[in-house]
Structure 1
């Protein structure tokens, strides 16, 4: 079988295992420019040209290198309407929504934004200033901080990728500006242990999700005037939507779900979760594959025997060293990832690494982080939650030492990470597949 690895693929073969491949419907791919132009011509609410004035200073928040958004195409489509409204290029600034990720390099900006790279600015969360507050689920007041360029703009626009997100249900919409171009206050609250423990905060859920609701409220408080987002599946881009940010997310999340959901009723000894570029550049992002599988609508590793088994995180590492043995009670999540950036280079990535590297055990780290943690470290909290019950093996990486530092196992290949005789589920594109409980839309290849 072929699995994504960076910008290419790797081959894996498990002849001694019983293998099931999860294949979502996929949908019919579209050309991003055509989809964006159609969306701009038929937006949710008034068209962009009617939402801005000729003398406005405009800020466009775009996604960073961790998202496969065709921002050059989307920004070009936005400029078409802005020019029609009498707005010149000199009135527009682009802010890269880094959140707490690392800045993009000049070369990355040119690749992502093409002719618009020269008007792009990397966001600095430390420079964000408060523009108001939003109300938390229990009535608490949470500051909303914003990049100064965005805060001072007369009109605020965002691009985005509506794709499955561990906490927001789906990303995109107001998230690009509220988190990507925001400060630490909203990140600290929304990504904190109390919020992540709330009912409805889960992968693939938009309605009734308090995390998503706070992002939407923040978008209103910021004054997000217009969104242009896309969504994608394993086959490529599936569509675009424009206009009011809530409608854009609702529209594209439903389109995405229809094309990436796979229903299951069985459980497995191991799950191979593919990632590929851009998410497998560092361990922070690549671990999404494991947590999306284990903490989604249906956990394919949650067999009764395994739930009753060892949850200590200790155990035989023979598979990691190349020896094949019989399956253990603890399930395995196997993630092939290049990790050319190691754990990651941004503030959030460093906090993630420091938390995991300094932990005595997954259980101890999870208990400690339930009392609170700094923004960006939430990925360590979620990874620890999974590691309490399952082992995570990262294979084929350029930084196996970083993997081993973080309570996970490094293995040279997928084959070395999976014991002989295992029942294995392969999810070739784990970030573009929603594993759900058995029902309509089942798609498998045996």
Structure 2
């Protein structure tokens, strides 16, 4: 039977005997209803834990709206206009609104990317895009994370954050406070917060991950007045939106995400074929790692994960690439993290931990030697990688391997119920 997965802006098909496939894991079915702007406007009209946005701001106040960069699938061009309508209803002028791109440790956006992000508001709003004039310090969290935030964000009278909620491999879920920390913070703050990922409670699907709680403590110190967090279906349409308090609304969106993407599975797989679903979530290996992390749950020890993603921008982070290049084995990478936690290195170690359990075949647009440098086996086409994985497992097991296919691996979380 023929199956398809996304890679970059294209799809690739591959053949497998249907009887060998445990499941093609998709989001759970949901009742049809409104999507897009209608969903966002409905959440703005009934916020959770706060008054309406139009009641929180006054004419003459400055407003900072924080949104995601292009490595996130948030459709800002869909979410921003309803938010701006709320601000206009309060008498806020466009010239009093700053749109801050939550870059975190990512690169600034190009003009074409800003045009795509902002939609009808491109050219109408001031933009903060990696060109801040400084930082404001708010102290440290109880964990010791320094709370330093871009001055322009900190000095706004009102802060509003836009985000999409999906599973995050150590923060539990994305969204909420992550727009400010790490989105508008410093490398040192991100590194301190992310060091909590070694805590066993820091895992995908935990709303109270210690990483998340540290972010929320930092965000409370800074002040975040209102959020709009959306859930996307597999076609990246907005199917749910929660607005209001940055904790309560984010948790509400998390619960909806679980209903949509928490997928029960009753059999472990010998081979897992996993994709992020294509662009923009597979721009580099640093981002593609999220799909790999979800695929680690259902694969058996000694199995193979066929990881599919364009990685058109390569590895995506300098420390990540350096740690992989300098190591001789995956164990070296894990040991490096235990000696010296570094942002970027943490993702290298997360990948290496999986490679200690199973083989990873990477189907990408990267140079083969660059893939091998990451202790993965390079392939140019999905079918070739799947055929090699099946043959490898046949030899190891003496039977036909059992296969799980995850076309949207960064979103769907296998919940093992064996």
Aligned residues of 1:338 and 1:396 also touching (Cα < 8 A):
yes
Secondary structure at 2:339 match in 1: coil
Aligned residues of 1:356 and 1:380 also touching (Cα < 8 A):
yes
Bigger drift between 147-156 and 388-397 goes to 388-397
- For the pair 1:161 / 2:168, whether they are aligned, the reply is no
- For the pair 1:146 / 2:149, whether they are aligned, the reply is yes
**CA distance in structure 1 between the partners assigned to 2:182 and 2:29 by the alignment:** 29
Secondary structure at 1:203 match in 2: coil
Bigger drift between 335-344 and 20-29 goes to 20-29
Go from structure 1 to structure 2 and tell me whether the alpha carbon gap of 1:26 and 1:169 turns closer, same or farther (over 3 Å shift). Answer: farther
Per the alignment, residue 270 of structure 2 pairs with 269
Per the alignment, residue 395 of structure 2 pairs with none
Per the alignment, residue 337 of structure 1 pairs with 309
Secondary structure at 2:119 match in 1: helix
Go from structure 1 to structure 2 and tell me whether the alpha carbon gap of 1:113 and 1:94 turns closer, same or farther (over 3 Å shift). Answer: same
Deviations 1:407-441 (A, max 9, x none): 211112223222233221111110121100228xx
Give 2:94's match in structure 1, choosing from 81, 89, 101. 89
Per the alignment, residue 389 of structure 1 pairs with 357
- For the pair 1:191 / 2:189, whether they are aligned, the reply is no
CA root-mean-square deviation: 1.9
Give 2:401's match in structure 1, choosing from 422, 426, 435. 422
Q: How many residues are treated as equivalent by the alignment?
A: 398
Per the alignment, residue 315 of structure 1 pairs with none
Aligned residues of 2:72 and 2:280 also touching (Cα < 8 A):
yes
**CA distance in structure 2 between the partners assigned to 1:426 and 1:134 by the alignment:** 41
Go from structure 1 to structure 2 and tell me whether the alpha carbon gap of 1:124 and 1:187 turns closer, same or farther (over 3 Å shift). Answer: farther
Per the alignment, residue 141 of structure 2 pairs with 134
**CA distance in structure 2 between the partners assigned to 1:24 and 1:37 by the alignment:** 24
Per the alignment, residue 410 of structure 2 pairs with 431
1:363 CA drift (Å)? 0.6
Per the alignment, residue 66 of structure 2 pairs with 61
Give 1:301's match in structure 2, choosing from 292, 299, 302. 299
Deviations 1:305-337 (A, max 9, x none): x3xxxxxxxxxxxxxxxxxxxxxxx21111111
Aligned residues of 1:146 and 1:183 also touching (Cα < 8 A):
yes
Per the alignment, residue 326 of structure 1 pairs with none
Aligned residues of 1:32 and 1:240 also touching (Cα < 8 A):
no
Aligned residues of 1:339 and 1:399 also touching (Cα < 8 A):
no
**CA distance in structure 1 between the partners assigned to 2:8 and 2:284 by the alignment:** 10
- For the pair 1:256 / 2:257, whether they are aligned, the reply is yes
- For the pair 1:35 / 2:42, whether they are aligned, the reply is no
- For the pair 1:216 / 2:216, whether they are aligned, the reply is yes
**CA distance in structure 2 between the partners assigned to 1:435 and 1:234 by the alignment:** 16
1:17 CA drift (Å)? 7.6
1:16 CA drift (Å)? 9.1
**CA distance in structure 2 between the partners assigned to 1:80 and 1:371 by the alignment:** 50
Give 2:381's match in structure 1, choosing from 381, 391, 413. 413
Deviations 1:339-385 (A, max 9, x none): 211112xxxx1211111121111111101111223223321121111
Deviations 1:172-200 (A, max 9, x none): 011011111111232111212xx112132
Secondary structure at 1:130 match in 2: strand
Deviations 1:255-289 (A, max 9, x none): 11111122123222110011111111111111221
Aligned residues of 1:25 and 1:260 also touching (Cα < 8 A):
yes
**CA distance in structure 1 between the partners assigned to 2:368 and 2:122 by the alignment:** 35
Go from structure 1 to structure 2 and tell me whether the alpha carbon gap of 1:416 and 1:283 turns closer, same or farther (over 3 Å shift). Answer: same
1:8 CA drift (Å)? 2.8
TM-score, normalised via structure 2 length: 0.90
Aligned residues of 1:268 and 1:300 also touching (Cα < 8 A):
yes
- Provide structure 2 residue ranges, at least 5 long, that are not aligned to the other structure: 392-399
- Provide structure 1 residue ranges, at least 5 long, that are not aligned to the other structure: 307-329, 440-446
Per the alignment, residue 323 of structure 2 pairs with 355
- For the pair 1:7 / 2:36, whether they are aligned, the reply is no
Go from structure 1 to structure 2 and tell me whether the alpha carbon gap of 1:65 and 1:214 turns closer, same or farther (over 3 Å shift). Answer: same
Give 1:79's match in structure 2, choosing from 52, 72, 84. 84
Secondary structure at 2:163 match in 1: strand
Go from structure 1 to structure 2 and tell me whether the alpha carbon gap of 1:16 and 1:223 turns closer, same or farther (over 3 Å shift). Answer: closer
TM-score, normalised via structure 1 length: 0.85
**CA distance in structure 2 between the partners assigned to 1:415 and 1:300 by the alignment:** 21
Per the alignment, residue 120 of structure 1 pairs with 127
